[in-house]
Amino acid sequence: MIVTGDDQAEMQNLQKYLASEFKMKSLGDLKYFLEIEVARSKHGIFISERKYVLDLLVETGMLDYKPIDTPSEQNHKLGLYHDQIHTDRERYQRLVEKLIYLAHTRPDIAYAISVVSQFMYFPNEDHMGVVMRILRYLKVTHGKGLIFSKYDHTNVEGYTDADWASSVTDGRSTSGYFTFVGGNLVIWRSKK
């Protein structure tokens, strides 16, 4: 269980109560949890998966590759075509699964990952090329993450976008949305 808050006395009371009901111990301030790094400052809490990204780049041999500015091409035409050369499906699936996990702290790659995840069962060289592009993008942005700052409001804001019927495979749309609470990004999703 992770407990957060500003009122130290109230947090200590909660810890005492929980300790009377459950076997537990306090590990102090959270710094690292499930590959997610947590850093605190006067500006807020910053979460990232920097080490996870660097480990992934080493694992894939992408550290020596030239970085790129965007995770995917604009107006891409990825699809399933009969004349495409297939790629190693297990490797493709493993890489995409790792990227999906990374998207917890990286909404900037959510759309690109939603695109490549559509081809998990029949990946080809073009699809693997997009996965490699995402990795090249991560090389230059490995330190990015999310910051949660304390603002003087709790306004809820939402934004959405869609590219109507753009899929070359089935003509379906891709949409995405972002929700902010108190100025902090709390929910994002890109889906077909």
Tens digits of per-residue pLDDT, 10-28? 878 888 888 888 887 777 7
Q: How confident is the model over 98-125, as a mean pLDDT? A: 85
How many folded domains does the chain comprise?
1
Q: Output the pLDDT for position 67.
A: 86
For residue 102, being part of any structural domain is answered with yes
pLDDT above 70 (res 151) = yes
Domain of 81?
Answer: 44-153
For residue 175, being part of any structural domain is answered with no
For residue 119, being part of any structural domain is answered with yes
| Helix, strand, coil percentages in the chain from 3-state DSSP, rounded to 5 | 35, 20, 40
pLDDT above 80 (res 75) = no
For residue 166, being part of any structural domain is answered with no
For residue 186, being part of any structural domain is answered with no
For residue 84, being part of any structural domain is answered with yes
Judging by beta carbons within 10 Å of its beta carbon (0-12, 13-18, 19+), is residue 118 exposed, middle or buried?
buried
For residue 181, being part of any structural domain is answered with no
Asked whether the beta carbons of 126 and 78 are under 8 A apart, the reply is yes
Q: How confident is the model over 105-128, as a mean pLDDT? A: 84
pLDDT tens-digit readout, 78-89: 666 667 778 888
For residue 55, being part of any structural domain is answered with yes
